[in-house]
């Protein structure tokens, strides 16, 4: 099983990488965007980037380190945006709409991101996997919980379990990107177009916001 054995104390941000390191990460992102599984070799990356594969070892210590750096680059931005969103002076309703669009847009840019995270978390048995959950899952879950609580406090949202909400919303936002090769067979087009991205944002927003904004039935549900 692929496992990450180490996690840098503080993952690098995009702008802290050298141009060659950035080119290697861009190449890995391009390859993974075309594939349905996290399956990539150093020679794939060398071919895509035009750089020597030894640079992967030099900059990232190897393939796993490169995948970790790629995940951090995409996911840190998402976490920072989410923590900023929670503190913004807009309504909880507006925050949740922005969050749902933001998640789908993140997966639109990096359709491999959710699978890459679960590949790095692995079977949950390594310390590094735990740190990834701690760095990238907990902040998103906490921010969602805060927005849900703000919405209940303002009288806009029905109460919803934040942990179950995290799992179902992530799955709903991600799945069209995971299943994009199925689209090829259904629609003759194997990627999510910009028009489809917009319709999907509208769809997932409608599903989640309608329920959040509908008061729960007065009697305890059976």
Q: Which residues are near a second copy by CB under 8 A?
A: 1-2, 34-39, 118-119, 121-124, 129-130, 133-134, 137-138, 141, 160-161, 163-165, 167-176, 178-186, 190, 199-200, 203-204, 206-208, 210-211, 214, 221
CA distance 37 to 42: 16
The tokens for 24 are 């290697």
Quickly tell me which residue has 């390594």 as its tokens. Answer: 126
Q: Provide the minimum distance between the beta carbon of 17 and a second copy in the complex, in angstroms, as a whole number.
A: 27
Q: Provide the minimum distance between the beta carbon of 21 and a second copy in the complex, in angstroms, as a whole number.
A: 26
Question: Between 59 and 136, whose beta carbon lies closer to a second copy?
Answer: 136
Q: Provide the minimum distance between the beta carbon of 125 and a second copy in the complex, in angstroms, as a whole number.
A: 8
DSSP label of 88: S
Question: Between 21 and 173, whose beta carbon lies closer to a second copy?
Answer: 173
SS3 170: helix
Q: Provide the minimum distance between the beta carbon of 18 and a second copy in the complex, in angstroms, as a whole number.
A: 30
Question: Between 89 and 210, whose beta carbon lies closer to a second copy?
Answer: 210
Question: Between 5 and 16, whose beta carbon lies closer to a second copy?
Answer: 5
- Contact call for residues 20 and 51 (beta carbons, < 8 A): yes
Q: Provide the minimum distance between the beta carbon of 204 and a second copy in the complex, in angstroms, as a whole number.
A: 5
CA distance 215 to 65: 47
Buried-state track 9-36, b at ≥16 Cβ within 10 A, e below 16:
eebbeeeebeeebbbbbbbbbebbeeee
Alpha-helical runs (H) found in 61-137: 63-87, 92-109, 113-121, 127-132
Question: Between 1 and 19, whose beta carbon lies closer to a second copy?
Answer: 1
């Amino acid at each position: 099983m692929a496992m990450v054995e180490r996690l840098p104390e503080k993952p690098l941000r995009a702008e802290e990488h050298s141009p060659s390191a950035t080119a290697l990460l861009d190449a890995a992102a391009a390859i993974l965007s075309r594939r349905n599984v996290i399956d990539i070799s150093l020679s794939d990356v060398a071919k895509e980037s035009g750089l020597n594969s030894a640079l992967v070892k030099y900059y990232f210590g190897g393939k796993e380190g490169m995948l970790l750096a790629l995940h951090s680059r995409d996911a840190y931005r998402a976490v920072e945006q989410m923590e900023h969103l929670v503190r913004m002076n807009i309504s909880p309703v507006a925050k949740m709409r922005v969050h749902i669009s933001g998640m789908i847009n993140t997966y639109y840019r990096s359709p491999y991101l959710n699978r890459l995270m679960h590949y790095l978390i692995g079977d949950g048995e390594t310390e590094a996997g735990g740190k990834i959950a701690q760095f990238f899952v907990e902040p998103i879950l906490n921010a969602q919980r805060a927005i849900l609580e703000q919405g209940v406090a303002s009288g806009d949202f029905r109460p919803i379990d934040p942990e179950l909400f995290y799992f179902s919303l992530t799955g709903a936002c991600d799945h069209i990107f995971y299943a994009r090769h199925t689209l090829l067979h259904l629609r003759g087009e194997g990627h999510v177009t910009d028009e489809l991205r917009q319709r999907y944002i509208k769809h997932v927003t409608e599903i989640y916001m309608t329920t959040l904004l509908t008061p729960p039935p007065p009697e305890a549900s059976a």
